[in-house]
Structure 1
Amino acid sequence: MAFDEMLTAENLPRPPYQNYHEWYAAQDTAHLIRKTQDAENIFRKTGITFAVYGHADSAEKLIPFDIIPRIIAAREWRRLAQGIEQRVLAINAFLDDIYHKQEIIRAGRIPRELIEKNVAFLPQMIGFKPPGGVYTHIVGTDIVRTGEDQFYVLEDNARTPSGVSYMLENRETMMQMFPELFALNKVQRVEDYPRLLRQSLASVAPPGCKGRPRVAVLTPGIYNSAYYEHSFLADQMGVELVEGSDLRVIDGRVKMRTTRGYEAIDVIYRRVDDDFLDPLTFRSESALGIPGIMDVYRAGNITIANAPGTGICDDKAIYSYMPEIVEFYTGRKALLENVPTWRCAEPASLKYVLEHIDELVVKEVHGSGGYGMLVGPTATKKECEEFSQKLAAKPHNYIAQPTLALSTVPIFVNKGVAPRHVDLRPYVLVSDKVKIIPGGLTRVALKQGSLVVNSSQGGGTKDTWVLED
């Protein structure tokens, strides 16, 4: 049975939810229905949308927002934050190592071919240390809960983690609609994120940067599914939003076209994938990047956040080695555990997964957004058989995990509340120090019994409250 984060087995509110539970009991259901409609109108007017590629209906969509917050106690958050910081520091150390001495490979803790044959490993980064020694400036760590003090890392997002704009808009919407709740509950702030992001990016500007570093957000353009977030963050930070066509390399610097001519950029927060970043280095047909930016980068004249080549840490086969990676670089056991994982590239694991496929969740090692996966317990016999054939043909392309009993939190429905499964994506900023935003984005599976929380698969979001002591 899933762990209910709000209510005990005796149907009593857990301590973090005590004040909210009392407030909710005094509310009129019709009033809350109107508030839900108000929230949808706010999101629609603000333009908070996303697109789902490959769908016949590819129009911009609203991510459903639930008005009941997810509430986390200060004690629980401190434990999570310690584990997240340890993991993020280990990821940065791992990236520095695989692009330099490769000590973890020589120590036999991770197979060489898993690194060197990985499509996300960039030989162009070998021997190069980014400004400040930081590879993953912005990290999103997906966490699931299964019990009172049982948290697991589901996956790492070390390349271009998305969703932070929804975290910020969710909070602003809740404060606008329910100011009385914030008077009843001492909730830690997330509103400082844009300011902290800009500070963090500016602090890792190239060594030769003079004066206040000039920061820009690089977007693929208006047709990208996350374009709203790109423009939102640029606006909130007070920096330029640019496309590749706005930039060019001049005199060894990346410069932006302005009404005053071309002016130098010091830090680029890029939301363009590695393959499209520089047509002279990667995909020659790319029209999204800046020809020659990698030469400027390797010369130390610009910071790219996150660094090219960090996507290898998003690989789910690499994820399966994270406990070893954390211990190798920190000298301590991981404070946050992985979900148990079978590597299908290993014959014994493949045999087990094929025999138990109807019980497991099987994922592509490079998959994301809930695509390319099989949830065995909810799949048909035919779907399991078809997936088994794909798995047997390319076992190295998959990992498998048990079906966890993800915790539930209440969502508001027309008849009151109903429990739904959730995960959590806290956001981490890395520069000369690590800053973890208290809370993050709670994604919720709106369908009863569903474990898939991704917005592209019908999931929604909630405001996440971390209480003060």
Structure 2
Amino acid sequence: MSKPENLVTTPYDPRPFFDEMFMNAYSVRSHYQTVFRQFMSMKAGSLNKRQSATMKRMMEEGITFTLYSPDQAEPLERTIPFDPIPRIIPRDEWLKLEKGLQQRVKALNLFLKDIYHDQNILKDGIIPRKMVLSNCYFRPEMMRLSIPNDVYVTVSGIDLIRDEHGEYFVLEDNLRSPSGFSYLYKSRSIMTHLFPELVFSHSIQDIEHSLNVFLSALRRLSPSGKSDPVIGLLTPGCYNSAYFEHTFLAQQMGIQLVEGHDLVVIDHKVYIRGIKGLRQIDVLYRRIDDDFLDPLAFDPSSMLGVAGIMNAYRAGNINIVNAPGTGVADDKAIYAYVPDMIRYYLNEQPILKNVPTYILSRPEEREHVLKHLDEMVVKETSLSGGYGMLIGPSATEHEIADFRLKILADPDRYIAQPTIQLSRAPVMMDGQMAARHIDLRAFVIAGDNIQVIPGGLTRVALKEGSLVVNSSQGGGCKDTWVTHS
């Protein structure tokens, strides 16, 4: 008999980064032992067939993401690259993350209520008034407007990273319309169907019930008090990069998927047009930005929103989730003050740390950053998805010089952070384990209480050495397991 073709002969050397699976080139972390043994025993041909089946299934189910690039005449629709080696988070490690995320989202909701009402945090000088009131996401239309249950942010996606020592940091707060839900659930579904021996050999916390948690949170926010409110998901349409996710969530939660032209406002109430006539809608989970939400209140050229919906919102006849104006709290300059918000509103020390952040409107911090641009990550405060960034260590001299001019021209527009050596995890590349940098988008739902979906979405920078994990920049994903013990 011929010798079986093993998938892997030796693991890689994880140094100098923190690796999720390997402590060193010859030692596997205890919670990965079973997964490692199972992958080591697989034949390369068998794994290749399963990976091919994964890609086929994703195409058949339409699990895609649209990439937009100035170098391409047409947008590219593709499946999300999926890696079969799961990321495993032990229960005790997760409990700390969960508490830290709950604390953070609670403080962010209190901050939003404060700045749109009494503005005590500004009066007390904790956050510069100009930074908030001149922020492009601050909406004067929201001033003094009562929000059901004071929940401005019902659903958030908080990005977490680990440094070379394995310590967790919050990298970003995504509060407007965070994406990635569908890939979290589909990742688990794919693993269960195509790698059942891996899934069922571990005691993994369930994620399916979290869709019911999300739906319950939306129902609870209905201003009508109906036992069965009408809920809609407002999508920009089929050309949006995350349209698959919009259809998935609407289908799974049993809510209406609508576009702006499906809705009409009459007497400050919002109705869905249908073949049986008009039906009043109580809660709208919107996946479009504030600017496009209402052409009468914001951008008059918008064709995506609903004319008059803000008047219906002010009249208390509909609730919009997440609330307009939440973007001011996920601005990358405001991010630097979240630990101060936690101390101010909750009288607690932050459980999770921020990445050290330089505010470039401060002359001394700007001067330091300009001297060390080749060591820094510079971000445009109002952008997300990996856009508007400079990663100094991998940038060309021309790119650094260009960003220097941008910072000098408008320093308020940028923040900078030291380059964190993101943790890595193994991925399958051509039948071998290879190390790639990862992060974790944790999803937090604020309903009767604040709940965190166990695990979240692990995003992978598939290009060797790259630190950019965003799907919009070509990144992939993994299933993320939180163990019961």
- Local SS of the residue matching 1:316: coil
**Aligned positions of 1:332-411 closer than 5 A:** 332-411=348-427
Matched, 1:12 2:31: no
Q: Do the aligned partners of 1:132 and 1:432 also contact (CA within 8 Å) in 2?
A: no
- The reply on whether 1:447 has 2:463 as its aligned counterpart is yes
Q: CA deviation at 1:285?
A: 1.5
Residue of structure 1 equivalent to 2:199: 182
2:120 pairs with one of 90, 96, 103: 103
- Residue 324 of structure 1 is matched in structure 2 by 340
Match of 2:474 among 435, 458, 461: 458
Uncovered stretches (5+) of structure 1, i.e. residues with no partner: none
Which residue is 1:281 aligned to? 297
Contact 2:67 2:473 in 1 (8 A): no
Task: Determine if contact 1:132/1:431 at 8 Å carries over to the other structure.
Answer: no
Q: Distance in 1 between matches of 2:351 and 2:275?
A: 51
Equivalent in the alignment of 2:148: 131
Q: Deviation of residue 147 (structure 1)?
A: 5.0
Q: Equivalent residues in 2 for 1:81-100 (5 A)? A: 81-100=98-117
The CA deviation at 1:125 is 0.4
Quick one: distance in 2 between partners of 1:276 and 1:415? 46
2:150 & 2:349 partners in 1: Cα distance? 24
Q: After TM superposition, which residue ranges in structure 1, 4 or more long, deviate above 4 angstroms? A: none
- Residue 461 of structure 2 contacts residue 469 of structure 2 at CA under 8 Å; is this kept in 1? yes
Match of 2:175 in 1: 158
* 1:219-368 aligned within 5 A: 219-368=235-384
Q: Which runs of 5+ in 2 are unaligned?
A: 1-15
Determine the structure 1 residue equivalent to 2:137: 120
Aligned residue type for 1:24: F
Give the deviation of 1:416 after TM superposition: 1.2
Q: Matches of 1:425 and 1:7 in 2, distance apart?
A: 22
- Give 2:458's aligned amino acid: T
User: Would you say how many aligned residue pairs link Structure 1 and Structure 2?
Assistant: 468
Q: How far is the alpha carbon of 1:19 from its aligned partner?
A: 1.4
Percent of pairs with identical residues: 48
Q: Does 1:50 align with 2:65?
A: yes
Q: Give the 3-state SS of the residue equivalent to 2:76 in structure 1.
A: coil
SS in 2 for 1:268: strand
Amino acid in the other structure paired with 1:13: V
CA contact (8 A) 2:268 2:309 kept: no
The one-letter code of the counterpart of 1:108 is: G
**Partner amino acid, structure 1, of 2:155:** I
Instruction: Tell me the TM-score normalized by structure 1.
Output: 0.98
Q: Deviations over 1:245-279 (max 9, x none)?
A: 11111233111012211011111000011011111
Kindly indicate whether the alpha-carbon contact (under 8 Å) linking 1:209 and 1:266 is maintained by their aligned counterparts in 2.
no
SS of equivalent residue, structure 1 residue 51? strand
Number of the residue aligned with 2:47? 32
1:194 CA drift (Å): 2.3
Residue 148 (structure 1) shift: 5.7
SS in 2 for 1:8: strand
- The answer to whether the 8 A contact 2:175-2:329 is kept is yes
Q: Which residue of 1 aligns with 2:6?
A: none
Alignment of 1:22 onto 2:24: no
1:173 equivalent in structure 2? 190
Paired residues of 2:233 and 2:246 also in contact (CA < 8 A): yes
Aligned counterpart for 1:192 among listed residues 196, 209, 226: 209
Q: Which amino acid aligns with 1:403?
A: T
**Is the 8 Å Cα contact of residues 187 and 466 (structure 1) preserved in structure 2?**
yes
Per-residue deviation, residues 204-262 of structure 1 (Å, max 9, x unmatched): 110x3333111110011111111111111001111110011111112331110122110
Task: Please state how far the C-alpha of 1:29 moved relative to its aligned partner.
Answer: 1.7
